[in-house]
Structure 1
């Protein structure tokens, strides 16, 4: 599973709606303390959907802190 972190709750809720509309499974959850973000909410989604999610986020200009995956006990930014 991958995790999208946001700087605002508005962007998190907007992304959730867009992913649901695209029929991409997602779960809203608290942002892990290891990720510095301005919003306490993050979206988790299947790794296999990364390309589609990235495309939706870019096309719809959703403001995100980053898309992360968990490696050992740390979250790593996919775009870093």
Structure 2
């Protein structure tokens, strides 16, 4: 299964996104930010690719500040937003 990752600049935004996505019944995993991704926050959120559009809509409508949206690849992560 393909996964995407949201990285953040602040823990506050990561926890806010966690709450919003869980409320929307999206299966997420709060995890340490991978070392190859530079972000101001040690927490990231991983979620299934099938939920990408819903996650984007929630992030935009709720104005959650993210460092970036990344796709998990064989070689690590590739930024897509």
- What is the TM-score when the length of structure 1 is the normalising length? 0.95
- Of residues 3, 6, 12, the one that matches 1:4 is 6
Structure 1 gaps of 5+ residues are none
> Hey, what does 1:49 align to over in structure 2?
51
Structure 2 gaps of 5+ residues are none
Cα displacement (A) at 1:70: 1.9
Q: Please identify runs of 4+ aligned residues in structure 1 that moved more than 6 A.
A: none
Please give the alpha-carbon distance, in whole angstroms, between the structure 2 residues aligned to 1:54 and 1:7: 17
> Hey, what does 1:20 align to over in structure 2?
22
Residue 61 (structure 1) aligned with residue 58 (structure 2): no
- What is the TM-score when the length of structure 2 is the normalising length? 0.94
Please give the alpha-carbon distance, in whole angstroms, between the structure 2 residues aligned to 1:24 and 1:32: 21
RMSD across aligned C-alpha pairs, in angstroms?
Answer: 0.7
- How many pairs align? 79
Cα displacement (A) at 1:71: 2.1
